[in-house]
Amino acid sequence: MDRVIFHVDINSYFATMLQQENPMLRGKVVGVIKGVGRSCIIASSNEAKKLGIKTGCVVKDARAIAPDIILVPANFDLMLSATRKLKSLFETLSPSVDIFSLDEVFLDLSGCEKLFESHILYAKFIQQRIKETLGEWVQCNVGISHNKLLAKMAGEVGEKGSVSVIDANNLDQVLSTIGFKDVCGVGWGLSKKLGFLGVFHPYEINLLDDQTLLQYFGPHWAVELRKVGRGEETHLFTHEKKVEHAQSVGRTITGYTLCDDEDQIRRVLLNLLEEATHKLRKMDLVGRKVGVSLHGHDRNWGDYATLKYWVRHTDEIFDILYHGMYKKWQRDFSVIKFGVWIGDCKPARDIPMSWLQNWNKREKVYGVIDRVNDRFGNFTLMPASLLGGPIIKPEVTGYLGDRVYLGL
């Protein structure tokens, strides 16, 4: 092997960490929910997965499968702390660490072969170190190959807690048996389309000629699928992820029930915007596009505007979103999901300095607010209209969209 890539994936991360924390949950069917009263399972334990209770399953359906399922609210602080510990650990194990998501990492160990006896032994050493760092209940799969696509694939096909290798000896065999659900980057729609052409395993892509791939999948996917068929790294892994700054900052939340209360909707939008603009300022960005989206039971509404000037202050953006957009909405359905975003972002240092008195005044005020909140905790200072009710605080997501903000 010229390159040596390890893919480390913690098994059922959210549920496993809660089982690690709470031994009473170990070996039991556990469903992680976002909060008490929520109806969607956002992660499930290995025991639950064996019964078919997967991420996205509705609590009612899960209870029909396993009436004794234990529902535990997620603790995002705990997850973020564990991920930070993992990151520090991985940095001691490899010179090149690529955090792929909250619970997945690629370690490039090319040229380090002399530091360890064999790939398998080093993988087992990594598994041991993870147990020492996070706890004895935490298991991980390690996939080893010469590129990221195959290393991840190796991790997917292995048993829980195993070490799997894909090399020249078993490459064709793996590619001709693995399903597309275990191939990173090939989604449900693409695999369905491939199924129409009689292709159910990556190796079978090689039986399609270039013309057919081009005709059915277009110029981009024709090339990418050819790579998948050969077990080569696709754009998903080779694409340079390290952007200099975030392109957009947004925040969404799904409520517990449909909401038709004007004050409540206003409050949620302001709360979400408060968080989004704080992130924007913390990353020292400004944006030119702003938008709002509302989802009901089966309908949705959204609006956005491209401004002729740059914004990053909560009150200014809220005025545009709420008075300029939301107030024009006909309010013809009740809302369950709320979202706000600021796009077309740029570093504040790259825009001409503002001479407007109002901008500079706001900049000073928000600078102070941010410093207080950074020192004493989020939402220590906040708009008065958010007082006296529950505050929606920042959360970490599985795919780590916030990695720039979180410093990961």
Partner 1 sequence: MFQRIDEKVEVAGVYKAATFVPKKIKWGKKVLLIEKVTLISDIRDGAIRKRMYSLLCGGELYRVVFNRDTEIWILEEIWTE
The binder of partner 1 chosen from 11, 16, 20, 277 (CB under 8 A): 20
Task: Report if residue 91 touches partner 1, rule: CB under 8 A.
Answer: no
Structure-token match 């129409």, residue found: 196
Q: Per this entry, what is the length of the chain? A: 408
Task: Report if residue 390 touches partner 1, rule: CB under 8 A.
Answer: no
The binder of partner 1 chosen from 55, 96, 191, 378 (CB under 8 A): 378
Task: Report if residue 373 touches partner 1, rule: CB under 8 A.
Answer: yes
Name which of 85 and 124 has its Cβ closer to partner 1: 85
What's the rounded Cα separation, in Å, for the pair 164 and 142? 6
Task: Report if residue 82 touches partner 1, rule: CB under 8 A.
Answer: yes
The binder of partner 1 chosen from 55, 73, 171, 403 (CB under 8 A): 73
Task: Report if residue 141 touches partner 1, rule: CB under 8 A.
Answer: no
Name which of 23 and 27 has its Cβ closer to partner 1: 23
Write down the least CB distance from residue 212 to partner 1, Å.
52
The binder of partner 1 chosen from 64, 95, 331, 376 (CB under 8 A): 376
- Which of the stretches 267-275, 315-323, 334-342, 374-382 binds partner 1 when contact is defined by CB under 8 A? 374-382
The binder of partner 1 chosen from 168, 375, 384, 388 (CB under 8 A): 375
Cα 159 to the center of its chain, rounded Å: 24
Name which of 115 and 372 has its Cβ closer to partner 1: 372
The residue ranges of DSSP E strands in 69-152, in sequence order, are 70-73, 96-101, 104-108, 140-145
What's the rounded Cα separation, in Å, for the pair 374 and 49? 39
- Which of the stretches 19-27, 112-120, 236-244, 298-306 binds partner 1 when contact is defined by CB under 8 A? 19-27
The binder of partner 1 chosen from 40, 98, 131, 135 (CB under 8 A): 135
Structure tokens at 14: 């959210």
Name which of 19 and 145 has its Cβ closer to partner 1: 19
Task: Report if residue 36 touches partner 1, rule: CB under 8 A.
Answer: yes
Q: Which residues contact 178 (CB under 8 A, 6 or more apart)?
A: 153, 156, 157, 201, 202
- Nearest Cα to Cα of residue 177 among 112, 231, 242: 231
Name which of 25 and 205 has its Cβ closer to partner 1: 25
Q: Residue 72's beta-bridge partner residues? A: 32
Name which of 128 and 247 has its Cβ closer to partner 1: 128
- Nearest Cα to Cα of residue 5 among 80, 139, 113: 113
What's the rounded Cα separation, in Å, for the pair 139 and 128? 9
CA of 374: how far to CAs of 272, 364, 377, 380, 406, in Å?
17, 15, 6, 9, 13
Task: Report if residue 4 touches partner 1, rule: CB under 8 A.
Answer: no
| Phi then psi dihedrals of residue 131, to 5 deg | -60, -40
Q: Is the dihedral of CA 225, 236, 126, 80 positive or negative?
A: negative
Task: Report if residue 172 touches partner 1, rule: CB under 8 A.
Answer: no
Task: Report if residue 284 touches partner 1, rule: CB under 8 A.
Answer: no
Residue ranges that bind partner 1, judged by CB under 8 A: 17, 20-24, 36, 72-73, 75, 77-78, 81-82, 84-85, 134-135, 373-378, 380
